[in-house]
Amino acid sequence: MSTQEYFDQGELVAVLTAQPLDRTLDYKAPEGGCFLGAFVEVPLGPRKVLGVVWGPGQGGFDLSKARSVIRVLEVAPMREEMRVFLGKVADYTLTPMPAMLRLATRAPGLSDPPSMRKIYRLGAGEPDRMTDARLRVLEVLRDYGGLAFTLKELAEQAAVTSSVVKGLVKQGAVQKEDSPRDLPYPHLEPDLPGKDLTDDQAAAVAKLQAALRTGDYGTTLLKGVTGSGKTEVYLEAVAETLRMGRQALVLLPEIALTAEFLTRVEARFGARPAEWHSGATMTERRRVWRMVGQGDAQLVVGARSALFLPFRNLGLVVVDEEHDTSYKQEDGVHYSARDMAVLRSAICGARVVLASATPSLESWANAEAGKYDRLDLTSRFGAAVLPDMKPIDMRAEQMQPGTWISPSLRQAVRQRIEKGEQSLLFINRRGYAPVTLCRACGEQIACDHCDARMVEHRFLKRLMCHQCGETKPMPETCPSCGAEGKLAPVGPGIERLAEEAEATFPEAKIAMLSSDLFGSARALKAKIEEIAEGDADIVIGTQLVAKGHNFPKLTLVGVIDADLSLHGADLRAAERTFQLMRQVAGRAGRADKPGQALLQTFQPEHPVIRAILSGDEEGFWKAEAAGRQAAGVPPYGRMAGIVLSGPEVGPVFDIGNAMARNDMPLRQIGAQVFGPAPAPIARIRGRHRVRLLVKAPKGAPIQDAIARWIAPLRLKGDLRLTVDIDPQSFY
Ligand code: ADP
Ligand code: ZN
């Protein structure tokens, strides 16, 4: 990397753009010169595009032909640490730099000049009469010592309607003025009183804070059962980070979780942090991006891509529910936000906290190996105890065909209803039924574009493909044999289970929680709050409910099919089942009432089911680690998935075969290639998919070998190749 920090007007600079080119482009520095890392607008053909000054120009062409940078944008230049980070992620994930830059500039309107909007602050006038509402507005403005608010923020903070604020403006008690749109975030105060911590929590906090004060990189695995206060603990790590004048980032796996978390941040630090996720408005995203860059956002709460925000002084990254699969991005740039959080922190000297009740085997192994520190919170906060877990042996239950709630589970739910407590019935399948079968000819209705069955969604009154999202109305007759009235649902999804529950417990109030049943994150959040307040006797939920929500009145969890994810070909099937079952079970008994989890299973002796029931987590991980070590698979070996796709299956296989034959670069590092084979989902959106799997010893330079392996390929026409380093799912 260049050491030259500043370029005079007319000097040649190399500019990285987000255009799909394999190199930087040379331009002359504009009037007034520019800094290394400056965001600039440059001409490209007839267009103007965004770029970053990446170093001195390469030259080697007629300099009189060089065009000039149009202008330097009014945003903080990209810091060296960010440039290094993007380069390393590009190398790790085998992603071209332009795609990395796109990831790092995902805020709209970065090249717009800051626009104006109305803000409100304390005025000199006195209101004609004082009301409680008016007093609250003035108090908020006084408390924040001259800080300005938007109308919405002020009304929200003071819990008044906007007309109260407008009334005060008329009387001069509040002043309205124009201000640039991207305002700094309200100050977070780390020294407001926190909760009284338990001894366990206080010890963990002390260790984290001491580690933070060194100002060096390090990763801590914070393991604690659900409800043990991990959030309380890492909030104190955030507090210490803020005291040190550094910035903190908290990553959450699910937007629906942010609402509860924001409320907790506000209670702890007196104001709300910046939010970064797909649900945030464009203006808000732009504001976050800019304020993070100039250090005027102390804390960001966000989804995985928040990791690519231009922090000025990042001191802490928390990855909550670190085992969650949604941290792995599986389109565009294939990256694991958890792993890249560690990389970024190592570059900028930040602390990483990986929090989970059921860590990934990767993190567990890193802690075992001493690469990560490990802190354990072993008991639940207050009176809450871990639920008692029991199997329901489905081989011994009398089941009516087409039903899934066993008599034993039915009885347990009934007891809860009588006591006014909540039950959760968990099934990890969206829709009404996973299969629609013709009882005349045996045809199963499939998607026209994918190698997948269509799933009936009765709520939407359609069949849906969960791969490509294609929907069609439920046909009246079998599309294959034309028989009428013979199409039948097979197997349960959440909607069908809800139907069974309604019939079985007619007196109960039933709530369904599945990501596809809500039009917006707000609607989902409202439903979750309703349930938390007790407005449901039975909650029927998919995976969504496993993720950290607090339902204090919930005392029973019934898992409809504990065997469901045990049988995947996926190397992580056991780990996933273990995590999911323990997470779901953790929803029960979070307040003062003890909880119970009942797992319906046909194989209560299966080692994974036994490990789940016995709660012997260390035992489970040790056994799982030994198995993976013996097989040389992650985290004890390295893997990469290569997917080739195209409209015709023949040419796709031809390339796959050629790659398998020419595997010298892989053999040189001791790696093996498996395949080509049809991918588990062999067709998506009409494209045929063929997969190769690369397996290498731990520590082998797999990216470099793969780069050399694929470099000679010339993909013709519509053929595509994607590389997924450390694949999490195999599809
Ligand atoms: P986790 O993140 O491990 O699931 P939380 O931090 O959400 O646990 O804590 C579970 C519940 O217990 C929350 O409602 C939290 O506010 C409460 N809690 C945890 N520790 C304390 C404490 N020291 N004082 C008061 N409440 C606490
Ligand atoms: Zn499809």
pTM of structure: 0.82
Distance from Cα 457 to the centre of ligand 2, integer Å: 14
| Ligand lying closest to the C-alpha of residue 682 | 2
In terms of Cα–Cα distance, which of 258, 257, 209, 252 is closest to 234? 209
Distance from Cα 153 to the centre of ligand 1, integer Å: 28
Alpha helices by DSSP H, listed for 556-616, are 573-585, 607-614
**pLDDT interval class at 707 (50, 70, 90):** very high
pLDDT digits (tens, 9 = 90+) for 555-571: 898 999 888 777 666 77
| Protein residue with its CA nearest to atom 26 in ligand 1 | 195
d(CA 328, CA 251): 13
Mean pLDDT value across the chain = 88
Tell me what pLDDT residue 701 has.
94
**pLDDT interval class at 546 (50, 70, 90):** low
Distance from Cα 728 to the centre of ligand 2, integer Å: 22
Q: Which atom of ligand 1 is nearest to the CA of 197?
A: 23
pLDDT at 75 over 90: no
Residue range 301-325: average pLDDT? Answer: 94
Tell me what pLDDT residue 731 has.
64
Distance from Cα 383 to the centre of ligand 1, integer Å: 11
| Ligand lying closest to the C-alpha of residue 684 | 2
In terms of Cα–Cα distance, which of 658, 713, 718 is closest to 687? 718
| Protein residue with its CA nearest to atom 20 in ligand 1 | 229
- Going by C-beta distance under 8 Å and a sequence separation of 6 or more, which residues neighbour residue 442? none
d(CA 328, CA 631): 23
pLDDT at 333 over 70: yes
Tokens 């930040």 correspond to what residue?
350
| Protein residue with its CA nearest to atom 22 in ligand 1 | 197
Ligand 1 lining (C-beta closer than 6 Å): 195-198, 201, 224, 226-232, 381, 550
Return the best residue to mutate from 232, 234, 257 for the ligand 1 pocket (most ligand atoms within 8 A of CB). 232
Please say whether the beta carbons of 438 and 483 come within 8 A.
yes
| Protein residue with its CA nearest to atom 6 in ligand 1 | 229
pLDDT at 2 over 60: no
In terms of Cα–Cα distance, which of 664, 694, 689 is closest to 679? 689
Return the best residue to mutate from 198, 379, 381 for the ligand 1 pocket (most ligand atoms within 8 A of CB). 381
pLDDT digits (tens, 9 = 90+) for 376-406: 998 766 655 667 889 999 999 999 989 999 9
Q: At what angle do helices 521-532 and 255-269 cross, to 10 degrees?
A: 70
pLDDT at 620 over 50: yes
Q: Which atom of ligand 1 is nearest to the CA of 357?
A: 3
Residue 119: count other Cβ atoms within 10 Å of its Cβ: 20
Residue range 64-70: average pLDDT? Answer: 89
Residue 577: count other Cβ atoms within 10 Å of its Cβ: 22
**pLDDT interval class at 308 (50, 70, 90):** very high
Distance from Cα 248 to the centre of ligand 2, integer Å: 40
Q: What percent of the chain has pLDDT over 90?
A: 53
Tell me the domains of the chain and their CATH numbers. 6-104 (3.40.1440.60), 116-180 (1.10.10.10), 199-278+298-377 (3.40.50.300), 388-429+492-624 (3.40.50.300), 638-725 (3.30.70.600)
Distance from Cα 411 to the centre of ligand 1, integer Å: 31
Return the best residue to mutate from 221, 231, 266 for the ligand 1 pocket (most ligand atoms within 8 A of CB). 231
Region of poorest pLDDT, from 112-121, 183-192, 198-207, 238-247 = 112-121
Tell me what pLDDT residue 1 has.
47
In terms of Cα–Cα distance, which of 613, 599, 225, 595 is closest to 423? 595
pLDDT at 582 over 50: yes
**pLDDT interval class at 524 (50, 70, 90):** confident
Residue 652: count other Cβ atoms within 10 Å of its Cβ: 23
Q: For residue 461, give both structure tokens.
A: 């009154």
Distance from Cα 589 to the centre of ligand 1, integer Å: 13
Task: Give the start-end residues of each E strand in 45-186.
Answer: 47-56, 71-72, 116-122, 174-180
d(CA 215, CA 653): 51
Tell me what pLDDT residue 362 has.
93
pLDDT at 129 over 80: yes
**pLDDT interval class at 657 (50, 70, 90):** very high
| Ligand lying closest to the C-alpha of residue 382 | 1
| Ligand lying closest to the C-alpha of residue 469 | 2
Residue range 346-375: average pLDDT? Answer: 95
Q: Please compute Rg for the chain using Cα positions.
A: 28
Tell me what pLDDT residue 571 has.
77
| Ligand lying closest to the C-alpha of residue 196 | 1
| Protein residue with its CA nearest to atom 25 in ligand 1 | 195
For β-strands 71-72 and 471-473, DSSP reports them as unpaired
Residues 329, 331, 334: CA angle, nearest 5 degrees: 50
Q: How far is CA 650 from the centre of its chain?
A: 36
